[in-house]
Amino acid sequence: MAKPKAGLMVGVVMCGLIGLLCLVIGFLATSGDSVKCADKTMEPGQKCLLVTDTETAWHTYDEMKVKTAEGRQVMRIVFFGGGALFLLIAAGSLLAGRRESRREAQQVAAAQAWTQKG
């Protein structure tokens, strides 16, 4: 069985670790259901003042809960998608490296067989 080169293995391991890290961060960052206004946790019945470049508005607890859920969904998509992408890159690189190493081993064996015939 042909083994991939060491440099390729480092890249595969790094991509795999980054992919797993993204999945863990995505899970941890999007778990929970607390609603925050700035850095403070909101309770039902409270209002939050949001100031942006285009508007300043008060938002109720329920509105902030919806905004928080939307933000968590975006984070979930980004981190889980990125993690899955890195894991796919790692797997694809590993398979390509094994295929290349096998091809090189076959070429070496063919060259040795040719030199022994002559």
pLDDT band with cut points at 50, 70 and 90 for residue 7: confident
Domain ranges in the chain? 6-31+72-117
User: Quick check: 78 and 84 in contact, CB under 8 A?
Assistant: no
User: Quick check: 29 and 75 in contact, CB under 8 A?
Assistant: yes
Over residues 89-106, the mean pLDDT reads 81
Over residues 52-68, the mean pLDDT reads 92
Residue 18 to residue 25: CA distance in whole angstroms: 10
Does residue 47 have a pLDDT over 90? yes
The pair of structure tokens assigned to 52 is 């942006």
Q: What's the predicted TM-score (pTM) here?
A: 0.67
Mean pLDDT of the chain: 87
C-alpha torsion 63→64→68→71, nearest 10: 70
